[in-house]
């Protein structure tokens, strides 16, 4: 991934504004430390901060066509770029080996329909200068794995600013909104248009397809496979929980397959940039003795990964919170709790030379894995909640995974949010996903990878490779990351906030913060720190707080241990 920044239809002299644009783009350089680019065209400015993963020798951006009438800046990865290149009807001269350049050439042929053709995670802005008035087309991936914001100045509403993060806009724009996932913006009419319209998107449409375990498994394997497209060393984030362990197990198998293919002449690896590295690296973090560290160690031994285990102290975590909030651009409690150890781990990972990791985000939303799903009153309500959670991932787990890692120029890819996998998983009837006192959460994905489950539909070839995971890992109870790094982490955050926020401050919280008033001292403290970084009222509009369904009778505390079903629930 990278950082993108652009100004469309600038109201003043764009050449005079160029240095200011470079300064605003520089605020994103943590996302793209490898190279920077800037193009001024007419009264438009397009900037790029590059993290080189694919096409590392020739993929500098902004990208242009031969006569520079179309300019493109992209953050993300396009996994089906080769297939899209074959779809081009007109001969096109590719200037780079980047997987993103196909967007430019396909746009020339089909315009805004290019958005729905892309399979990947992306945010991009394209400037088309061929008409008398330039056209801006900008788009964000279907679920919002990458981050993107759009800003304006009320005195100059015809000017549009685009940036990967809020921090590049907050000093320049008095109107800022999060760019909605699955949409494109077209300056022709000044509107957002939804291009991602899967049949499962409507929460009122209850899925009816019975689970096909083999299809579910094969879809996830395919999602991991396409995400191994990289020319740099990569690894996996391994907490030892179900989701990260499954992704790690599949990645190890697929890396071995890539190696076998690379050593033969019988098949071509269908991804430019795919490289085989001798051993998958896995990474975990926690307080000393944390549940996740112990579980991850066991999985790493089973998978034979090159495992890296990091510990941090409570004080190191507390010292990082202000920086975490600056990078996250949110004051949401659960996101900050989980992001802090992920932020610390990402810095350690980048120091090893690894630039891309696979992560397990999204599974809990897709399959109803959070412990509060045990309280769902009906199957239909269970299903509606999964759809809504997937639709809002861009405000929480996607935001965390993207910004915690990209703070250090590390790219995180999330196979569970592959759009083809989602098409399979989100159409499974909720009766097959329900959890209860007798059925563990996410049972269907566990069964799909359980070689001891008769209905999983394993082929003889799959069975010959042995189990994906040990049984006690495959069937480990859901542990939220902020809990799994050590139970004293959340407790210490609460104590820290209690020591810094007085009872009098809490009593007048609604006067201090009339918008989205914090309800706990921890939330109050995060809100204070957020407004130190982002004091403009416009910056509040993109923040959404994550809370369980209290109307289902469960705790409002986002920690998994706040739910009675947890084996180590709060007293």
Known binding residues are 99, 237, 285, 359-360
> Under a CB-based contact definition with an 8 Å cutoff, are residues 332 and 392 in contact?
no
Pairing of the two strands 356-358 and 234-237: parallel
The position carrying tokens 């299903």 is: 383
Q: Considering Cα of 199, then 119, then 421, then 341, what sign does the dihedral take?
A: negative
Residues near 414 by Cβ (< 8 Å), separated by ≥ 6? 121, 145, 358, 359, 360, 361, 362, 398, 401
Active site residue 435: no
Residues near 147 by Cβ (< 8 Å), separated by ≥ 6? 123, 164, 165, 394, 398, 399, 402, 403
- For the annotated binding site for L-glutamine, the residues are 99
DSSP bridge pairs for 235: 281, 357
DSSP bridge pairs for 562: none
Residues near 19 by Cβ (< 8 Å), separated by ≥ 6? none
Return the closest-CA partner of residue 542 out of 166, 186, 171. Answer: 166
Return the closest-CA partner of residue 231 out of 392, 489, 59. Answer: 59
d(C-alpha 64, C-alpha 22), whole Å? 19
> Under a CB-based contact definition with an 8 Å cutoff, are residues 63 and 95 in contact?
yes
Q: Helix crossing, 333-351 with 314-328: angle to 10°?
A: 100
> What's 551's DSSP letter?
G
Element at 500 (helix H, strand E): helix 487-500
d(C-alpha 405, C-alpha 102), whole Å? 26
Size of the chain, expressed as the number of residues it contains: 571
Return the closest-CA partner of residue 102 out of 129, 120, 84. Answer: 84
d(C-alpha 118, C-alpha 231), whole Å? 21
Catalytic residue among 2, 47, 115, 398: 2
The position carrying tokens 């065209």 is: 41
> Under a CB-based contact definition with an 8 Å cutoff, are residues 361 and 237 in contact?
no
The maximal CA–CA distance of the chain, rounded, in angstroms, is 73
3-state secondary structure of 133: coil
d(C-alpha 167, C-alpha 363), whole Å? 29
> Under a CB-based contact definition with an 8 Å cutoff, are residues 185 and 220 in contact?
no
The position carrying tokens 């394209």 is: 126
Phi, psi for residue 74 in degrees, rounded to 5: -130, 140
- For the annotated binding site for ATP, the residues are 237, 285, 359-360
> What's 428's DSSP letter?
B
3-state secondary structure of 87: helix
Catalytic residue set: 2
């Amino acid at each position: 991934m990278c950082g993108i920044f652009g100004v469309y239809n600038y109201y003043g002299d764009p050449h005079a504004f160029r240095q200011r644009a470079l300064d605003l783009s520089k605020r994103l350089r943590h996302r793209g430390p490898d190279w920077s680019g800037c193009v001024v065209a007419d009264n438009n400015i397009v900037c790029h901060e590059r993290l080189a993963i694919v096409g590392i020798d020739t993929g500098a951006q902004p990208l242009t066509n031969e006569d520079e009438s179309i300019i493109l800046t992209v953050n993300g990865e396009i996994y089906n770029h080769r297939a899209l290149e074959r779809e081009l009807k007109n001969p096109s001269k590719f200037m780079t080996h980047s997987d993103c350049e196909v967007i430019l050439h396909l746009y020339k042929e089909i315009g805004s329909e290019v958005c729905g053709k892309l399979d990947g995670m992306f945010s991009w802005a394209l400037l088309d200068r061929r008409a008398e008035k330039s056209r801006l087309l900008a788009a964000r991936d279907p679920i919002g794995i990458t981050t993107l914001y759009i800003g304006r100045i009320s005195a100059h509403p015809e000017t549009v600013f685009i940036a990967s993060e809020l921090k590049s806009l907050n000093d320049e724009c008095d109107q800022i909104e999060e760019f909605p996932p699955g949409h494109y913006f077209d300056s022709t009419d000044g509107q957002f248009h939804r291009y991602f319209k899967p049949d499962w998107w409507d929460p009122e449409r209850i899925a009816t397809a019975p689970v096909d375990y083999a299809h579910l498994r094969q879809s996830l394997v395919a999602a991991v496979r396409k995400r191994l497209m990289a020319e740099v060393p990569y690894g996996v984030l391994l907490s030892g929980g179900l989701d990260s362990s499954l992704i790690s197990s599949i990645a190890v198998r697929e890396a071995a397959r890539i190696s076998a293919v690379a050593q033969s002449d019988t098949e071509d690896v269908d991804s430019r940039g795919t490289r085989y590295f001798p051993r998958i690296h896995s990474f975990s973090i926690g307080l000393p003795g944390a549940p996740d560290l112990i579980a991850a160690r066991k999985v790493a031994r089973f998978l034979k990964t090159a495992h890296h285990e990091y510990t941090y102290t409570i004080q190191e975590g507390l010292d990082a919170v202000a920086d975490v909030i600056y990078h996250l651009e949110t004051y949401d409690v659960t996101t900050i709790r989980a992001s802090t150890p992920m932020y610390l781990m990402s810095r350690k990972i980048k120091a090893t030379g690894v630039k891309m990791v696979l992560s397990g985000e999204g599974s809990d939303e897709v399959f109803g894995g959070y412990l509060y799903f045990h309280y769902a009153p009906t199957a239909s309500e269970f299903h509606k909640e999964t759809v809504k959670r997937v639709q809002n991932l861009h405000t929480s787990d996607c935001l965390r995974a993207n910004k915690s890692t990209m703070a250090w120029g590390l790219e995180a890819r999330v196979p569970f949010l592959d759009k083809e996998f989602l098409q399979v998983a989100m159409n499974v009837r909720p009766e097959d996903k329900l959890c209860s006192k007798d059925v563990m959460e996410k049972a269907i994905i566990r069964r799909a990878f359980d070689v001891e489950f008769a209905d999983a539909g394993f082929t003889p070839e799959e069975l010959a490779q042995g189990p994906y995971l040990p049984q006690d890992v495959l069937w480990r109870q859901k542990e939220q990351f902020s809990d799994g790094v050590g139970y004293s982490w959340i407790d210490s955050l609460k104590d820290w906030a209690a020591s810094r926020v007085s009872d009098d401050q809490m009593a007048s919280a609604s006067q201090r913060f009339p918008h989205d008033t914090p309800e706990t001292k921890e939330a109050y403290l995060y809100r204070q720190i957020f407004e130190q970084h982002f004091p403009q009222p416009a910056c509040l509009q993109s923040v959404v707080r994550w809370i369980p369904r209290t109307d289902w009778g469960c705790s409002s505390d986002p920690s998994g241990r706040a739910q009675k079903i947890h084996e180590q629930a709060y007293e």
